[in-house]
């Protein structure tokens, strides 16, 4: 389409549907962006954080160049690195629940942009594949979409690599919403099956999910991918539980 026609159409659409904050409806200048109030309510992880897993530290602490959280310092984190855009709290929960369970898929625009921002210091030239954490088919049929795929597609486009949604299958298990760390780890054990190992062998894979709670899902998926020959596994989520931050 010629540029002038595109620009006229854009103005007409913006006149009929003026840009509004997808969460509260306040007018904004660009389609899909949060308004200032919704933006500032989110606890963004923009201060010092663990160089490996991205765990946020209180900003008044003094840190050396590459600070590490106790878990990573003890060598207990499994992914090569993880980054998350914000902390899981009341404000981000108010976005996550409608996005995940009530069809508010238009939130994926600002959420994925925030995740790309969270990756700003990472060397993304080492990523070969972007892979959303798979959803069991039964859950996918019920929900109608995999929220992780909605977030992964713009990230794959932004870093110009392929998104892989068919190499790993997830078996159906109980919802982990109210489980403690140990129960989560037992419930997730053996849930992922790599069905196209030729796609992941020797690859460096960036996993994408909406929220990281204990990290059990990422760890289990990484184990399956490494068993199938993946070289490195990284992770990015919109928010993460960080009770001690
Ligand atoms: Zn708003
Ligand atoms: Zn860490």
Q: Hey, is 81 helix, strand or coil? A: strand
- Mean pLDDT value across residues 26-49: 90
Q: For the chain, which domains are there?
A: 1-39 (no CATH), 42-240 (3.40.50.2020)
Rounded to the nearest angstrom, the distance between the alpha carbon of 70 and the centre of ligand 2 is 7
In this prediction the pTM is: 0.89
Rounded to the nearest angstrom, the distance between the alpha carbon of 51 and the centre of ligand 2 is 7
**pLDDT, tens digit (0-9, with 9 covering 90-100), for 120-172:** 999 999 999 999 999 999 888 888 899 999 999 999 999 999 999 999 999 99
Q: Hey, is 129 helix, strand or coil? A: strand
Ligand nearest to the CA of 83: 2
Ligand nearest to the CA of 73: 2
**pLDDT, tens digit (0-9, with 9 covering 90-100), for 17-33:** 788 888 888 999 888 88
Ligand nearest to the CA of 240: 2
Ligand nearest to the CA of 32: 1
> Which pLDDT value is given to residue 51?
92
Determine whether 27 is exposed, middle or buried from the number of CB atoms within 10 Å of its CB (0-12, 13-18, 19+). Answer: exposed
φ, ψ for residue 54, nearest 5 deg: 80, 5
* Pairing mode of beta strands 192-194, 168-170: antiparallel
Whether 218 and 83 have beta carbons less than 8 Å apart is answered as no
Rounded to the nearest angstrom, the distance between the alpha carbon of 21 and the centre of ligand 1 is 5
Ligand nearest to the CA of 91: 1
More confident residue, 194 or 8: 194
Q: Hey, is 136 helix, strand or coil? A: coil
- Cα distances from 154 to residues 20, 114, 180, 230, in angstroms, run 21, 11, 32, 23
Other CB atoms within 10 A of residue 168 CB: 24
**pLDDT, tens digit (0-9, with 9 covering 90-100), for 167-225:** 999 999 877 777 788 887 788 899 999 999 999 999 999 999 999 998 999 999 999 99
> Which pLDDT value is given to residue 60?
65
> Which pLDDT value is given to residue 245?
40
Rounded to the nearest angstrom, the distance between the alpha carbon of 72 and the centre of ligand 2 is 4
Rounded to the nearest angstrom, the distance between the alpha carbon of 35 and the centre of ligand 2 is 32
> Which pLDDT value is given to residue 62?
66
Rounded to the nearest angstrom, the distance between the alpha carbon of 13 and the centre of ligand 1 is 21
């Amino acid at each position: 389409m010629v540029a002038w026609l595109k620009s006229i159409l854009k103005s007409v659409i913006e006149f009929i549907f003026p840009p509004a904050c997808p969460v509260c409806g306040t007018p904004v200048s660009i389609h899909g962006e949060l308004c200032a109030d919704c933006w500032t309510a989110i606890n963004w992880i923009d201060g010092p954080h663990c160089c490996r897993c991205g765990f946020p530290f209180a900003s008044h602490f003094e840190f050396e160049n590459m600070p590490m959280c106790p878990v990573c310092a003890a060598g207990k984190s499994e992914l090569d690195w993880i980054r998350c855009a914000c902390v899981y709290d009341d404000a981000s929960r108010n976005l996550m629940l409608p996005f995940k369970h009530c069809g508010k898929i238009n939130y994926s625009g600002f959420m994925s942009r925030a995740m790309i921002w969270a990756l700003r210091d990472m060397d993304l030239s080492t990523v070969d594949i972007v892979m959303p954490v798979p959803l069991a088919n039964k859950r996918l049929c019920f929900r109608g979409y995999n929220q992780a795929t909605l977030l992964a597609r713009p990230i794959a486009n932004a870093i110009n690599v392929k998104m892989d949604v068919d190499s790993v299958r997830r078996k159906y298990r109980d919802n982990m919403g109210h489980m403690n760390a140990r129960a989560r780890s037992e419930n997730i054990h053996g849930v992922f099956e790599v069905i196209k190992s030729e796609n992941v062998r020797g690859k460096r894979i960036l996993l994408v999910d909406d929220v990281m709670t204990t990290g059990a899902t990422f760890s289990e998926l990484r184990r399956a991918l490494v068993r199938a020959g993946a070289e490195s596994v990284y992770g990015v989520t919109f928010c993460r539980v960080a009770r001690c931050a």
